[in-house]
Amino acid sequence: MTNALVWLRRDLRLADQPALARAAQTAERLAPVYIHAPAETRPTVGAASCWWLHHSLAALDAELASAGSRLCLDTGPSAERLCHWAQVSDAAVVYCTAIAEPWARQQEAAVAEALAAIGVRLEVLADGLLTDPSAVRNRSGTPYRAFTPFWRSVRAQLDPPRPAPPPALPGLPEAIPEPQPLETLGLLPRIRWDEKLAPCWQPGAAGAQQRLERFLDGAGPAYGERRDFPAQPGTSRLSPHLHFGEISIRAVWHAVRDAQQMQPAAADALDTFLAELGWREFAYHLLWQQPELHRTPIDERFSRFPWREDPDGALLDAWRRGATGIPLVDAGMRELWATGWMHNRVRMVVGSFLVKNLRLPWQHGEAHFRDTLVDWDLASNSMGWQWVSGCGADAAPYFRIFNPVRQGERFDPDGDYVRHWVPEVAGLPKSHIHQPWAAPADARARCGLHLGRDYPEPLVDLATSRKEALAAFHALG
């Protein structure tokens, strides 16, 4: 047996972790190493994700310590630093799990070449997805462009292995150097705006498992009915845990399938949840085909879309701050700023408002979500923005423009979500809370609401901006 390194990236757990499991089986001693190399990640990871990563690494270090090991931290070019760690630990092999993103494939190739030059082998194991995004094809041998046939084909063949328990870890190599303190990675902001996120989340494998169990015991059986209502705890909120690999996708899949067997009445609702995992797979399928998914529209016509001029950035800034004068949009943007997360139904509404009512480029929204979402994911975020803009694969048609008033009346019928995040309009009755500009003057006066002073007038007229957007879409031909 030889010494080995496990190169950790987005697989921050011990259970069902293929690289750790392989190393534990084959190595006499092993060192779990995390290399912080932000220059290699493109596009650049945002501030909220960095906050999550800091606490996820801290949780993993504690988990490793309880297993008789520890996390070895370093910064710098991955190839250079892994060669250094391999030499000082006398490792003959480096194990890692794959990330199906373009930058990661380039990173793996550079690392493999550098390690080979010093006689060390890199072994990359599949993880993170239920499918191989490079291998899924339709009957004509081309990639899928629509979700329903993609998922129908994939679902019929899915048989992921049961999740494996944490392995017994060998000890660290004797000559292993002291790691850098976690704080030196510089993941936390200097101005501690991130303190508001801590009450909302528990990064790490334990937090992921608790989220999964809470979902299956609570919202899961009613997922199909409650998932679209932002005032209700109807979703799993597992997305950041899955993104950072704190829980394996196989563990989630089998936990849900087991719950379907134990709760037959909830089978259909939980099948809807499994389809959401399918959308995540589809996003990576698209990203594999189009590495520039975060900035280049799949429908090339949209590269000449007539976006609105916003020379001083006032419209974009109002959208970011939740000051558009449209309560459901503002509620979503404020929830995002306060918690690092936004309900998926509201994500569609705020996205549609940005690109179809304000008519600002969807790439602006993608970049803002990248910086502020704790669950930002290159594939899912890019696919979502292209979907709502009408320029992606299986996208919402250009003429589908979410009306935030109607969406609020349907999915926040009592106004509880808006009242929580937009207290300025909380005194309005539910008949007007989603459109305060339409409330009678005496109703606004009774609750002390003066539009333009206490809460903004709408940035745009919804009906007029809808007509303008449709005209712009038609002009594309």
Residue 144 in marked binding region: no
Please report the pLDDT score of residue 396 as a whole number. 66
Please report the pLDDT score of residue 393 as a whole number. 84
Please report the pLDDT score of residue 416 as a whole number. 98
Residue 377 in marked binding region: yes
Instruction: Please report, for residues 12, 126, 161, 226, 407, the alpha-carbon distance to residue 18 in angstroms, rounded to integers and kept in the order given.
Output: 11, 8, 12, 35, 43
Note the pLDDT tens digit of each residue in 138-158. 999 999 999 999 999 999 999
Active site residue 174: no
In angstroms, the CA 450 to CA 177 distance is: 63
Average pLDDT over residues 380-401: 87
Same fold: 128-159+205-289 with 300-475: no
Note the pLDDT tens digit of each residue in 307-325. 999 999 999 999 999 999 9
Note the pLDDT tens digit of each residue in 334-353. 999 999 999 999 999 999 99
Active site residue 51: no
8 A C-beta contact, residue 209 and residue 255? no
In angstroms, the CA 56 to CA 12 distance is: 7
Residue 51 in marked binding region: no
Query: Which residue in 103, 253, 307, 437 is the catalytic one?
Result: 307
Look up residue 400 and give its two tokens.
């589908």
Residue 237 in marked binding region: yes
Angle, helices 344-352/327-339, rounded to nearest 10 degrees = 120
pLDDT band at 200 (very low <50, low <70, confident <90, very high): very high
Q: Where are the beta strands (DSSP E) in 140-187?
A: none
In degrees rounded to 5, what are phi and psi of residue 95? -105, 145
Query: Which residue in 344, 409, 437, 468 is the catalytic one?
Result: 344
Q: How far is CA 35 from the centre of its chain?
A: 21
In angstroms, the CA 7 to CA 91 distance is: 12
Query: Which residue in 40, 123, 276, 468 is the catalytic one?
Result: 276
In angstroms, the CA 325 to CA 457 distance is: 5
Residue-range domain boundaries for the chain:
2-127, 128-159+205-289, 300-475
CATH 1.25.40.80 fits domain 128-159+205-289? yes
Indicate the pTM of the whole model. 0.96
Residue at 76: amino acid letter: G
Note the pLDDT tens digit of each residue in 99-126. 999 999 999 999 999 999 999 999 999 9
Average pLDDT over residues 180-193: 93
Angle, helices 378-389/362-372, rounded to nearest 10 degrees = 150
Residue 376 in marked binding region: yes
Residue 238 in marked binding region: yes
Active site residue 344: yes
Q: Domain 2-127 maps to which CATH number in 1.25.40.10, 3.50.50.60, 3.90.1170.50, 3.40.50.620? A: 3.40.50.620
CATH class of 300-475: mainly alpha
Query: Which residue in 7, 288, 362, 387 is the catalytic one?
Result: 362
In the predicted model, is pLDDT for residue 92 greater than 80? yes
Active site residue 279: yes
Query: Which residue in 279, 337, 409, 437 is the catalytic one?
Result: 279
Mark residue 394 as left, alpha or beta (left: phi above 0; alpha: psi -120 to 50; beta: remaining): left
Q: How many CA atoms lie within 13 A of 319 on its CB side?
A: 26
